[in-house]
Structure 1
Amino acid sequence: MTEKQVYILLTNTGSLLTKLIKLYTKKPYNHSSIAFDQHLSEVYSFGRKTARNPFIGGFVKEDVRMGLFKHADCAIYSITVSESQLQNLRHYLQEIEAQQKQYRYNFLGLFGVMFNRPLKRKNAFFCSQFVAYILNKSTIMKFEKPLGLIAPYDLQCVSNLHLVYEGKLKDYQNENKAEMVCYPVTEKGVFSPSLLYLR
């Protein structure tokens, strides 16, 4: 059986909304995402659609090298999955992505977490609820509490997670540049090796 790795990214971007949430949770990380590779080139979550407006949210593919993530603190965890679990995970994610206009950010659900009462809303997730949902649907993780009450710090408590990195997100990215060797043609038609980096 071929085993793969999936990654859970927890971040603190330092935004005003994050600071407000942190006042309540008292936890260092208040946003969660799921990634399919260690270089974080394919990262998904439910969050803000535009950098300037935190109240327009929904399903997003995140570029963790841009915007609010540029100065974020983070914790990155890996979890080992089977090939079939990985395929299931991609299937459920692609279903949401294909219908993303029908999905919205579950702002009311955040109040449900505060009062320990899950608020079920059709086609609506907050970030950690989304991550928990697709991990649960893919039989990768099971949660004791309702998914509508899963906060980012609950994801850290799952026993089969492995902490990969904790610190500044940009430092992790600098340490994990993927190297790729290519051979460009010179003016004389001779191949000349050079080292390129993929960000």
Structure 2
Amino acid sequence: MSSQEVYIVLSNTGTLFTSLIKTYTRAPYNHASISFDAELHEMYSFGRKNPRNPMHGGFVKEDILTGTYSRYKETTCVIYRLNVTEREKEKMKRILNVFIKNDDKFLYNILGVLGVSFKEPIEFSNSYFCSQFVAEVLQRSGIKLWNKLPAMVTPDDFRKNEQLEMVYEGKLFEFEPIKKQL
């Protein structure tokens, strides 16, 4: 089987919500997404459904040029590459298709975010926070990066994982493939 790549994007938009989380975590990035291409066209996470409404969250296909990121031009990020097998990537896409087809049934797991801070997983069916979602997709595809539940995985856990190779760190809109789209 040929080697494939997926990308884990950690970001900090500087919003009130991420600033509150950052106060507690002291981590530079507090949002995680997964992408299937180096240009970040096909990128998914749990976050704002509407860029103007932080209270309505759930499963989202993130669009850097027109979605939430477009409102926060100073967003900083770090992008990691993870080598996977063709089979693992296909599994991820099948799992994502379930999310895509049922996107209106998924909610943002705000209590799960609090659970991480209390070191107690809080899980509900059809409810995820960003890093929990990315970790869940990887785990269900047979990729185990940690010995913990996806509900306990933080964006900083990705940053500290040695199986991920850093591709870029800096302002999101200065990432060369994004600059070419502007």
Q: Return the offset for 1:132.
A: 0.2
Give the Cα–Cα distance (whole angstroms) in 2 for the partners of residues 40 and 70 of structure 1. 16
The equivalent of 2:31 in structure 1 is 31
The equivalent of 1:92 in structure 2 is 95
Deviations for 1:155-187, whole angstroms, at most 9, x for unmatched residues? 122221100000011110xx2269xxxxxxxxx
The answer to whether the 8 Å contact 1:11/1:74 transfers is yes
The answer to whether the 8 Å contact 1:4/1:86 transfers is yes
The answer to whether the 8 Å contact 1:136/1:143 transfers is no
TM-score when scaled to structure 1?
Answer: 0.85
Asked whether 1:108 is paired with 2:111, we answer yes
The answer to whether the 8 Å contact 1:93/1:134 transfers is yes
Unmatched 5+ stretches in structure 2: none
The answer to whether the 8 Å contact 2:172/2:178 transfers is no
The equivalent of 1:183 in structure 2 is none
* Aligned-pair identity (%): 44
Which of 156, 159, 179 is residue 156 of structure 1 equivalent to?
Answer: 159
The answer to whether the 8 Å contact 1:64/1:70 transfers is no
Greater Cα offset, 11-20 or 65-74:
65-74
Give the Cα–Cα distance (whole angstroms) in 2 for the partners of residues 149 and 40 of structure 1. 25
The equivalent of 1:55 in structure 2 is 55
Higher Rg? 1
Give the Cα–Cα distance (whole angstroms) in 2 for the partners of residues 149 and 110 of structure 1. 9
The equivalent of 2:135 in structure 1 is 132
Higher relative contact order (CA 8 A, sep 6+): 2
Give the Cα–Cα distance (whole angstroms) in 2 for the partners of residues 38 and 27 of structure 1. 24
TM-score when scaled to structure 2?
Answer: 0.93
Q: Return the offset for 1:69.
A: 4.5
**Aligned-pair Cα RMSD in Å:** 1.5
Q: Return the offset for 1:71.
A: 1.9
Give the Cα–Cα distance (whole angstroms) in 2 for the partners of residues 43 and 18 of structure 1. 19
Aligned-partner SS, 1:24:
helix
The answer to whether the 8 Å contact 1:69/1:169 transfers is no
Greater Cα offset, 64-73 or 22-31:
64-73
Q: Return the offset for 1:126.
A: 0.2
What amino acid does structure 2 have at the position aligned with 1:18?
A: T
Query: CA 1:20–1:37 in 2, change beyond 3 Å: closer, same or farther?
Result: same
